[in-house]
Each structure stands twice: as structure tokens, then as C-alpha cells.
Amino acid sequence: MQELWREDKYKNLRFVEMGRFRILIFSFLLFFICGCGNKEYSRVDFLMDTVVEVKVYHGNKAEAREAIDSSIEEMKRVEQKMSSFVPGSEVSRINKEALFERRSASDLREGWISISSELFSLLEESVRVSNLTKGCFDVTIYPLWKIWKFEGDNVEIPSKREIERALGLVAYKNMILQNGKIKFGKKGMGVDLGGIAKGYAVDCAIKVLKEKNVKSAMVNAGGDIYVLGKKQGKPWRIGIRHPRKEGEILGIVDVEDRAIVTSGDYERFFFSKGIRYHHILNPRTGYPAEECQSVTIMCKETTFADGLATGVFVLGPKEGMDLIESMEEVEGVIVDRKGEVLISSGLVSKIKYANQK
């Protein structure tokens, strides 16, 4: 995927705790008793172009509500900073300045653009994921995203010439990060953080909840999920969606203090002459990746899981699973293009399949 913010609703993990949403949901709070001395407090909102839910278990209503509201505001802050589709965002500014639209004379000569320490760190993490996935995850995919259209009634495939032109601007190794600044190797390059920034927003929300003394919580941003602690003394139960059977799940995993993120080809796609075109683009070819239907990653941080799920989807099932197996405390489930399911060795004994009683 190299997903933009608008892509965020496509990478979607269907899970036991929450149903499917098809319409814009206005913010609301649901409160009810769940025993064990704590109550469940949750808020559902719509941001980052997807449905977001924050759920906590806490003994104090006012503190729980304040913690939830603060975590939602933090995700909104990340969106306003990192989205390439928010005109005033820092990422939008970078993409404009990369076209030499506005820069100081000294920076123009050197080609450097000053950026915040927060964005600098996220871009460094993006480069780390790019290196791990042999460039299959690449935040410089922005020029390709501008020519592919997956919305509206007039979806169409870009011409070969358009794709070749855009591919000439996609190369994370031509994005140089140094001393709080960024520089691109070619005019017209740009960044899109849609394949990693939603996971980062979830991690930021969890950090806020921890600071508010919340011990048990789940943050779900359109399928990028982190579960904090246990749910009423037991692990959270998360169901992985079947990529071809809407409303069904492949299996259920019990997790605590972990991120679980799925990249799938099933949310945004169209057919042309019998061929399925989806939103997860391969930065090597300029076309949608062909080897997988979905990839689920479990690890300690949602940021890393988000980027890795995208990269593995593009990398393909064999190389992707080899990569997952090579990393400590990283597990994964891959559904290949034929529907075959691959499960990492550390997870295979822990997943409960949908047909199990």
C-alpha cells in the first residue's frame, strides 16, 4: 500500500470488539458496567478518513472520559501534521517546497528543507522499514499516488507513460535526512506517510492514555490496533478478517500490550477488463502489488507494524514470511493471492481458527 491518509480506511482489520461501519459516525460516548470494579468507557469518532475507537476500562468516569478525549485529540494533532491531504500540514509543506515553490535563498541552493524533530524521527523509522523490506515500503511513493485514482465514478488506470514518469521520482534512497532537515535527489519528489502515520497516531494515543494512568485500553484506527494491558483480567481477543469473505474472520488471537495491524486489498479497488486493481501500490512497478490478499503483523509498536504490513504485502508471501521469522517479537499472518494462509512459527499454536469451537 503505499497508503495515504485517505487510504487508511482500506487497511482494515475486522475484529471481535467492533462491527462494520459504512457511514460517517458522529462522536459519542458509551458507558456501561463491566464488573471487576472498573467500567468500560468508549468513544467512536471519524478522523484520518476512517472510523476510530478508543476503549478503556477504568474506575473513575471523569478520568476515563478525559483520558479518551485527550487521546483522540492527540490523533487529530498527528493527522493535521502528517497528512499529505491536509493543506496546512507539515508534510504538505514539504511536498510543496520540494517543487521549489518557496524556500530561502540559502536552502534553495543547498536543497534542504527544515522539518520538525517529530517528523524527522518518523521519516527515519520509515527508512528503517524500507531497508528491511528492500524498498517495498517507500514513503516517497507520493508521485505515484497522485496519478492513481480509487475514488468516484471515473476511476481509471494511469497510462504507462504516466507511471514511468512517476516511478522516476520514487526512491527512498534519494530522500536524504540530516541534522533536522530533508533533501530530495530530484525535483518533483515528495512523501506520503499514509502507510505508517496512522500506526504512529495510535502509538501516540496509547502514550497519552498511559500518562493518564489508564492500565487497560484498546485503540483502533480503521484496523491499526493497539491493546494495552488486559481486558477485565483476560487478554483481548482480536479477530483477523477474511480478505475475501465479508463479515467472516480467519481466526482469533489473544493479545495484550501489543499492536496488531492488517494491510488488505479488499477495501479500495476497482475492476477493469476483468482485472482487479487495488490501492496497495508496488513502488518497484507502479502498479498494485499482486502477491497477497492481506498481511497481519503483531509486534510491540503500531508504527512499525503499520509500515511492515505494507512492506510485506508488496514483498510477497515467501520473502515476507522469511522477514517476519527473522525478527524477534514479530509475528504475522499472510494470505497469498490464491487464498493460502501462512502463519509465523511463533503464532501458529496461538491462533484460534474461526471453525474451531
CA dist 86 and 196 (Å) reads 16
For 258-296, the pLDDT digits (tens) are: 999 999 887 766 666 677 766 789 999 999 999 999 999
Q: Give the 3-state secondary structure of residue 154.
A: coil
CA dist 317 and 309 (Å) reads 11
Task: Flag whether 134 is in a domain.
Answer: yes
Q: What number of other Cβ atoms are within 10 A of residue 298's Cβ?
A: 25
Task: Compute the residue count for the chain.
Answer: 357
Task: Flag whether 124 is in a domain.
Answer: yes
Q: How many domains does the chain have?
A: 1
Are the C-beta atoms of 75 and 205 separated by less than 8 Å?
yes
CA dist 238 and 15 (Å) reads 5
Task: Flag whether 106 is in a domain.
Answer: yes
Are the C-beta atoms of 98 and 189 separated by less than 8 Å?
yes
Domain hosting 148: range is 85-184
- Cα first-last separation, the chain: 34
pLDDT class of 353 with cuts at 50, 70, 90:
confident
Task: Flag whether 61 is in a domain.
Answer: no
Task: Flag whether 218 is in a domain.
Answer: no
Above 50 in pLDDT, residue 301?
A: yes
CATH of the domain at 179: 1.10.3980.10
Q: What number of other Cβ atoms are within 10 A of residue 212's Cβ?
A: 18
Q: What is the mean pLDDT of residues 228-257?
A: 94
Are the C-beta atoms of 7 and 279 separated by less than 8 Å?
yes
Name all contacts of 153-160 with Cβ < 8 Å and 24+ positions apart: 155/270, 156/272, 157/272, 157/277, 158/286
Q: What is the mean pLDDT of residues 203-218?
A: 98
The DSSP symbol for 241 reads E
